[in-house]
Structure 1
Amino acid sequence: MAVLKPFKAVRPVKELAGNVAELPYDVMNTEEARTIGEKNAFSFIHVDRAEIDLEKDVNPYSVKVYEKARNNLFDMIKKRILVKDNKENLYVYRQIMNGRSQTGIVGCTSIDDYQKGIIKKHEFTLESKEKDRINHVDFCNANTGPIFLTYRAKGEINNIVSKVTAGEPEYSFVSEDGITHIVWVIEDENTINKLTNLFKEVSALYIADGHHRAASAVKVGLKRREENPDYTGEEEFNYFLSVLFPDRDLAIMDYNRVVKDLNGMETSELIEKIKEYFEVEKLDDEVHYKPDEKHTFGMYVDETWYKLTAKKGTFDENDPVLSLDVSILQNNLINPILGISDPRKDERIDFIGGIRGIKELEKRANNDMKLAFSMYPTTVQDLMKVADSGNVMPPKSTWFEPKLRSGLFIHELQ
């Protein structure tokens, strides 16, 4: 039984929604964030990456940064760039990218559901990244970025969302990257009650993107419980901001790999070793190979593409983790042949989201790296199978597009 709770969103006034909405804090570095902030005084990046409004040598994890984030958020509220709704609502958020749309319900989910495993994970988190967002949420007294959740589509929920989206939207704008963003407000109590009751019949929610934001939001909630021993469970800090999408709406992009060297081998030696685990096919010069089915991989080295097909016996199709293409490549090539045992920490490997395209892999392999691997995308069903099994995926297994914008909805903790 999943909890979905309406809330009083702090959100942009209608005419400024497109100016305020910004990409998540963790998809850009400080200099990129600073450039965005210099161009747009309304951008929510001034809250999510507040170091851009301080001296350039400031430590981005210092108390000064979190205090500045809080002050910037309060200033946006004071200036009525952001306004808090008078009643608890749910919201619908649609994004359209390259003709494909994904439509989710915006509300709050429960830290207890996260603790009990009703909200399921598929990635490990890093303590250092968690600590940053814990401080950010705690100082701001708010969830400033939503968690991207998915669930197995349910017809009755889809029907309600379809009726809501047939009405007049609250926001509709196109961001600089060409993605359309549309928001509807669900104020009707009967509709809100129907949706919250229908989610009680949903057995699991899955984190698609935002594992660190989710873990941090939960830890702040638990901290507030310790500070308020008489808490009832109804307080806002018991919940965190989420957008819930049906699985049928989502598409995962490929998450590709580039490697700095051949681990001391010549190309011919590398290919001979790979043949123990993969069928290897050299491709024509004009081919830029992107796999079109599971268990196939592209390899680019010396300005040439090869198609690799995993041989039988190199993976266990019944194991939700070992059958993933990212596992097959890691366990049969990147680790034993290239000597990269821990891709989380090894500086010889880098990862490139599919949004950058195959040409980016070629560019990197021809410049600062030596070879590249193009991947077939992990599916949402793969993600759910791994999460249901209680396991986690290898690092950099999924790349979701489009990214949820921050600043359209803020959830105050008290």
Structure 2
Amino acid sequence: MAKIVPFKAVRPTKDKAGMVASRPYEDYSVGELKAQLEYNPFSFLHIINPGYKFQHEITGEKRFQLVKNRYLEFKEEEIFIQDPSACYYFYKIVTRTKMFSGIIAAASVQDYEDNLIKRHEDTIAYRENLFKDYLKVVGFNTEPVLLTYPDSEVIDNLMKKVMQGEPEYEFSTYNKETHYLWKICEPESVNQIKSEFESMPTLYIADGHHRSASSYLLAKESKDANPNHTGNEPYNYFMSFLISESKLQIYEYNRLIKDLNGLSKEEFLMQLDLWFRIESRGLEVYTPSKKHQFNMYLDGEFYSLYLRKTNYEFTDSLSSLDTYILYQKVLKPILNIQDLRDDDRIAYIHGRNDLIEIKTQVDNGNFAVGFGMLPLTIDEIKKVADEGLTMPPKSTYIEPKLRSGLTVYEF
């Protein structure tokens, strides 16, 4: 059974929530970042980019300590306050086309270790340890791991009831999103939520594999260093945003390759023909309609690629994934892309962008060929996790993406 508990969040005051909340640091262009730091003194970006105060780029442990200092300043200036009692937080995001709602809570590191919280992606040890060290120095986390759970009528009904009331926060952003947050602190509702999660045998990580792994490492290290460890310390949990499976939005990641690995166009097509039935679509923007079908753009033409299933052996859930098929039969053997994470010959465009973006990038000479496919389903992701397998990197782009700084979890 999953242990999902309330916590005492550190949060911006109601009047400053919209100014504090920020997108992930890497989402900002240089100009946007400069404008936010220059004209918005309440932006959470000031905490995670502490060198701006000194007009100096700072890295490593020195940066970690300055991040902590900026955070403490926000608390001292009462931009941030902490809730007096442990609460769950219902969070809703409304965009021009979609609506997401879920629960911000603390998930158990023990559940992660026991594989009650299942993962489907490999992590890189260096990144795990770097973020673990960061968490240890700063003493807080503000980027929740995205977890998904089976649809629950109990939780849905409680959300509907709570969301009829006035939210703690309501603010809009420049990209025309509206964000809402409600506190749930009443014992009856808290126990109802806790009990409902306890009835669920398994949860799945949708996004945030490195964050959860780093939290696990920090918990293990803190436990070993604490002779009075009880299991109830804050380091035994990590902040999560839990959303039901039907509310997740899963996009594909399309692939762009810079060259054909020394092959001519004709040689490349001939090698593809071993595994795929190929049809030229000319300038028609072809979108796959079924699994194991791919879009390809090469030398001014779109192509459809259909996997020759009589030649291909499906052995497990991983071998059935289109991202795996493309890697094993095209990227690795033909184009010599061995490392999907670090090879600078490959780039990724998530499926929120139109396939025309692939055409534009190839036509401009930035890349030689592009591939598109259908997004994975939640059932495919769960099967891979249930079998203890890991998907190729950049197999999914999953929404929602939360703003940083609305709820902070302290260790």
Q: Which amino acid aligns with 1:94?
A: K
**Shift of the alpha carbon at 1:57?**
4.5
Matched-pair contact (CA < 8 Å) for 1:96–1:180: yes
SS at match of 1:299: strand
**218, 241, 258: which one aligns with 1:243:** 241
| Superposed CA offset, 1:269-290 (max 9, x none) | 21122111111111132x2333
**Shift of the alpha carbon at 1:258?**
0.4
The 2-side partners of 1:227 and 1:121 are apart by: 27
**Shift of the alpha carbon at 1:122?**
0.8
Matched-pair contact (CA < 8 Å) for 2:11–2:407: yes
Matched-pair contact (CA < 8 Å) for 1:179–1:402: no
The 2-side partners of 1:318 and 1:157 are apart by: 37
| Superposed CA offset, 1:53-78 (max 9, x none) | 454443x3x12210111011111111
**Shift of the alpha carbon at 1:242?**
0.6
Q: Which residue does the alignment assign to 2:362?
A: 365
The 2-side partners of 1:113 and 1:39 are apart by: 43
Q: CA RMSD in A?
A: 1.9
**285, 288, 293: which one aligns with 2:290:** 293
Bigger Cα displacement from structure 2, 390-399 vs 217-226: 217-226
Bigger Cα displacement from structure 2, 331-340 vs 1-10: 331-340
* C-alpha distance 99-87 of structure 1, shift in aligned 2 (>3 A): same
| Superposed CA offset, 1:140-180 (max 9, x none) | 21122111110111222222222122221111222222222
Structure-1-length-normalised TM-score: 0.94
* C-alpha distance 314-393 of structure 1, shift in aligned 2 (>3 A): farther
The 1-side partners of 2:33 and 2:177 are apart by: 19
**Shift of the alpha carbon at 1:378?**
1.1
Q: Which residue does the alignment assign to 1:22?
A: 22
Q: After superposition, where does 1:145-160 map in structure 2 within 5 Å?
A: 145-160=143-158
Matched-pair contact (CA < 8 Å) for 1:173–1:180: yes
The 1-side partners of 2:315 and 2:295 are apart by: 24
Q: Which amino acid aligns with 1:47?
A: I
| Superposed CA offset, 1:322-359 (max 9, x none) | 10010111111111211212222322111122233323
Q: After superposition, where does 1:88-167 map in structure 2 within 5 Å?
A: 88-167=86-165
Matched-pair contact (CA < 8 Å) for 1:315–1:328: no
Q: Which residue does the alignment assign to 1:218?
A: 216
Q: Which amino acid aligns with 2:331?
A: I
Bigger Cα displacement from structure 2, 265-274 vs 190-199: 265-274
**Shift of the alpha carbon at 1:34?**
4.9
Q: Which amino acid aligns with 2:214?
A: S
The 2-side partners of 1:324 and 1:97 are apart by: 30
SS at match of 1:356: coil
**Shift of the alpha carbon at 1:26?**
5.4
**400, 403, 406: which one aligns with 1:405:** 403
Q: Which amino acid aligns with 1:310?
A: L
**346, 371, 374: which one aligns with 2:372:** 374
SS at match of 2:362: helix
SS at match of 2:4: coil
Q: Which residue does the alignment assign to 1:343?
A: 340
| Runs of 5+ unmatched residues, structure 1 | none
Bigger Cα displacement from structure 2, 31-40 vs 139-148: 31-40
* C-alpha distance 212-50 of structure 1, shift in aligned 2 (>3 A): farther
Matched-pair contact (CA < 8 Å) for 2:51–2:57: no
The 2-side partners of 1:357 and 1:36 are apart by: 29
Q: Which residue does the alignment assign to 2:330?
A: 333
Q: Which residue does the alignment assign to 1:48?
A: 48
Structure-2-length-normalised TM-score: 0.94
Q: Which residue does the alignment assign to 1:37?
A: 37
